[in-house]
């Protein structure tokens, strides 16, 4: 393997380098660990920027590892997501309880995101499985990061146990698939004569992946983990790890499983409907904002499936585009929840009553984020949903489309509940006004720019469409 070939793994290598730097910094610094925050954040910022430089594409390790334009776009998208998570964490990591363990946080998160990058680049089910585990296990540790809180520990144990369970089923599925097809390479579509056993294998594989995306009925861990884990970890789970899983799902469906199209269309159809509906129905009742966002992200996953089901180029572009917008919208919402929780320790919806009076700018960011999640024009979320719906309509799935629209209406209700709380409801003792730290503000500015800009810059969608492919 030549040096040029080795450099195909540019994203992963840079992230590994960053992890090493953080490790060294941990050893080199004394009591005050604040420097590690700056180091990690600026390293991640540079990596994100470098990721956008033009890069060669190709395959490594006999097709185990693949880089192409679409994968690069996805990696860059999720790197931005990680950068925003880093930015939003600095303040929280400086708190008394966490000071001694700053580098752990960055190390584990970097490890997980290395897994995410390998996951996106995997061209083979073995690679896929390894990187999937690398993505999840560090996050399970991070979910329990706030050991002094029992809920955090509970979140960690729930995540690792249910994740182990789902991995078991997924692996079982993979072995069946290997048994019936004799291949694990994505690029070979060898499912023609796989028969019933192949379908069993496929469903098991799908369940394992659906677990990561929080698709109903494999979603039950989501709310408990999101609520208990540190907010930034919930944000990471809901955006970066979910985005990667969606991407690999659509990738394998469109290549390896292309001959099972009628099967996976049926599965997607059913799960999309129940996921949207159940996610929404639960979101309506939530009083805790982190749980609320958990169910909202479940419902959003259902919407994403609208892009997958048609099997078209438009659908793939719409899905990637939606994930890109979702990164900014969801992280903006989590960012606000996080900074409010760090400053006041409050995270229930009632606490947000009258927030506009005390923290007007924060409320406006939250409003934009919720509008984007709900899909209200002119915020980018509208365009994201619009293209997803277009993709489903193009495929002729009108029944699904109608249910999706009804669900969009329900979601509007609960997103607006939060907006109402902030802007209209009055409160005896509202959360007092505070100033956020520089990094949080920077992250929210990035999110707002993304939420407003992406919808209007048509070139982004055009580019994504040009690198997408259909069945």
Partner 1 sequence: MPGLEHTILIPLIPFFAFLVIGLLNKTLSPKVAGMIGITGILASTILAYQVALGYFFSFGQVDGVFQKIIAYKTSWLQFTDSLVIEMGAILDPISAMMLVVITTVSSLVFIYSWGYMKGESGFSRFYAFLSLFSFSMLGLVLATNLFQMYMFWELVGVSSYLLIGFYYDKAAAVAASKKAFIVTRFADLGFLIGILLLSFHTGTFDFQLLTDPNGPAITSVGGATFMGLSVVSLSLLLIFIGGAGKSAMFPLHIWLPDAMEGPTPVSALIHAATMVVAGVYLVARLFPVFAFAAPEALEVVAYIGAFTALFAAVVACTQPDIKRVLAYSTMSQIGYMMLALGVSGFGEDGLGYTASMFHLFTHAFFKALLFLGAGSIIHAVHTNDIFKMGGLRKFMPITHITFLIACLAIAGIPPFAGFFSKDEILAAALVSNKLIFGVGFAVAGLTAFYMFRLYFMVFWNEAKIEGAPHESPSVMTIPLIILAIGSLVAGFVPFNELVTSNGSLLATELHWEVAAPSVAIGLIGIVVAMVMYRKASNLPSKLSSSLGGIYKAAYSKFYIDEVYMFVTKKVIFNLISRPIAWFDRNIIDAFMDMTAKMTNLVSEGIKEMQSGQLHYYAIYFASGAILFVVLMLWMR
Residue from 129, 191, 221, 256 in contact with partner 1 (CB under 8 A): 221
Nearer to partner 1, 29 or 265 (CB): 265
Nearer to partner 1, 73 or 299 (CB): 299
Site string for partner 1, 398-437 (x = CB under 8 A): ------------x---------------------------
* HEC sequence for the chain: CCHHHHHHHHHHHHHHHHHHHHHHHHHHCCCCCHHHHHHHHHHHHHHHHHHCCCCCCEEEHHHCEEECHHHHHHHHHHHHHHHHHHHHHHHHHCCCCCHHHHHHHHHHHHHHHHHHHHHHHECEHHHHHHHHHHHHHHHHHHHCCCCCCHHHHHHHHHHHHHHHHHHHHHHHHHHHHHHHHCCCECCCCCCCCCHHHHHHHHHHHHHHHHHHHCCCCCCCHHHHHHHHCCHHHHHHHHHHHHHHHHHHHHHHHHCCCHHHHHHHHHHHHHHHHHHHHHHHHHHHHCCEHHHHHHHHHHHHHHHHHHHHHCCCHHHHHHHHHHHHHHHHHHHHHHHHHHHHHHHHCCCEHHHHCCHHHHCHHHHHHHHHHHHHHHCCCCCHHHHHHHHHHHHHHHCCCHHHHHHHHHHHHHHHHHHHHHHHHHHCCCCCCCCCCCCCCHHHHHHHHHHHHHHHHHHHCHHHHHHHHHHCCCC
Q: Considering only the stretches 201-209, 232-240, 249-257, 301-309, report the one whose residues sit in contact with partner 1 under the rule CB under 8 A.
A: 201-209
> Least distance from C-beta 192 to partner 1, angstroms?
14
> Least distance from C-beta 298 to partner 1, angstroms?
11
Residue from 153, 169, 190, 393 in contact with partner 1 (CB under 8 A): 169
Residue from 45, 55, 171, 263 in contact with partner 1 (CB under 8 A): 263
* Residues in 131-150 that interact with partner 1 by CB under 8 A: none
Site string for partner 1, 269-308 (x = CB under 8 A): -x-------x--xx-xx-----------------------
Query: Under the criterion CB under 8 A, does residue 224 sit at the interface with partner 1?
Result: yes
> Least distance from C-beta 442 to partner 1, angstroms?
32
Nearer to partner 1, 56 or 266 (CB): 266
In DSSP terms, which residues pair with 67 in a beta bridge? Answer: 58
Nearer to partner 1, 38 or 285 (CB): 285
Nearer to partner 1, 157 or 188 (CB): 157
Nearer to partner 1, 58 or 266 (CB): 266
How far is 273 from 250, CA to CA, in rounded Å?
Answer: 18
Nearer to partner 1, 16 or 200 (CB): 200
Query: Under the criterion CB under 8 A, does residue 206 sit at the interface with partner 1?
Result: yes
Query: Under the criterion CB under 8 A, does residue 322 sit at the interface with partner 1?
Result: no
Residue from 211, 254, 371, 397 in contact with partner 1 (CB under 8 A): 211
CA angle 249, 411, 304 (to 5 degrees): 15
Instruction: Please choose, from the candidates 404, 395, 401, 383, the residue with its C-alpha nearest in 3D space to the C-alpha of residue 462.
Output: 383
> Least distance from C-beta 105 to partner 1, angstroms?
25
> Least distance from C-beta 281 to partner 1, angstroms?
4
> Least distance from C-beta 207 to partner 1, angstroms?
4
How far is 285 from 410, CA to CA, in rounded Å?
Answer: 12
> Least distance from C-beta 52 to partner 1, angstroms?
36
The residue count for binding partner 1 (CB under 8 A) is 31
Nearer to partner 1, 228 or 354 (CB): 228
Phi-psi group of 166: left, alpha or beta (phi > 0 → left; psi -120 to 50 → alpha; rest → beta): alpha
Nearer to partner 1, 77 or 163 (CB): 163
> Least distance from C-beta 144 to partner 1, angstroms?
15
**Residues at the site binding partner 1, with contacts judged by CB under 8 A:** 158, 161-162, 165-166, 169, 196, 199-200, 203-204, 206-207, 211, 216-218, 220-221, 223-224, 263, 266-267, 270, 278, 281-282, 284-285, 410
């Amino acid at each position: 393997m030549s040096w040029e070939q080795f450099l195909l793994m540019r994203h992963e290598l840079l992230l590994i380098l960053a992890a090493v730097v953080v490790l060294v910094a941990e050893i080199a610094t004394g009591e005050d660990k604040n420097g590690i925050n700056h180091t990690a954040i600026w390293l991640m910022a540079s990596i994100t920027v470098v990721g956008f430089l033009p890069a060669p594409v190709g395959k490594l390790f006999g097709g185990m590892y693949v880089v192409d334009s679409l994968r690069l776009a996805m990696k860059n998208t999720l790197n931005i997501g990680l950068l925003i998570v880093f930015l939003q964490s600095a303040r929280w990591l400086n708190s008394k309880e966490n000071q001694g363990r700053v580098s752990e946080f960055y190390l584990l998160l970097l490890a997980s995101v290395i897994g995410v990058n390998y996951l996106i680049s995997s061209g083979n089910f073995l690679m896929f499985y390894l990187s999937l585990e690398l993505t999840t296990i560090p996050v399970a540790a991070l979910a329990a990061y706030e050991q002094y809180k029992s809920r955090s520990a509970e979140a960690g144990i729930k995540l690792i146990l249910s994740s182990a369970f789902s991995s078991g089923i997924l692996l079982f599925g993979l072995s069946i698939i290997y048994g019936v097809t004799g291949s694990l390479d994505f690029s070979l579509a060898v499912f023609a004569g796989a028969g019933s056993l192949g379908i069993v294998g496929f469903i098991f594989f799908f369940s394992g992946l659906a677990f990561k995306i929080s698709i109903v009925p494999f979603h039950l861990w989501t709310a408990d983990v999101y609520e208990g884990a540190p907010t930034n970890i919930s944000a990471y789970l809901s955006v970066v790890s979910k985005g990667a899983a969606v991407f690999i799902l659509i990738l394998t469906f469109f290549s390896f499983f292309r001959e099972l199209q009628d099967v996976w269309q049926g599965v997607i159809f059913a799960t999309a409907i129940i996921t949207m509906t159940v996610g929404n129905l639960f979101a309506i009742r939530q009083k805790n904002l982190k749980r609320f966002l958990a169910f909202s992200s479940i419902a959003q996953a259902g919407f994403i499936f609208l892009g997958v089901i048609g099997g078209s180029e438009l659908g793939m572009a719409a899905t990637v585009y939606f994930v890109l917008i979702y990164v900014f919208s969801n992280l903006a919402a989590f960012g606000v929840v996080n900074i409010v929780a760090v400053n006041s320790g409050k995270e229930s919806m009632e606490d947000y009553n009258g927030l506009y009076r005390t923290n007007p700018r924060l409320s406006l960011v939250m409003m934009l984020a919720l509008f984007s999640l709900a899909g209200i024009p002119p915020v980018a979320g509208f365009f994201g949903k619009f293209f997803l719906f277009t993709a489903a309509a193009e495929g002729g799935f009108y029944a699904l489309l109608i249910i999706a629209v009804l669900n969009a209406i329900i979601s509007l209700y609960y997103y607006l509940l939060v907006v109402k709380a902030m802007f209209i409801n009055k409160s005896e003792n509202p959360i007092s006004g505070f100033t956020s730290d520089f990094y949080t503000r920077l992250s929210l500015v990035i999110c707002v720019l993304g939420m407003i800009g992406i919808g209007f810059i048509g070139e982004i969608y055009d580019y994504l469409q040009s690198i997408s492919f259909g069945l």
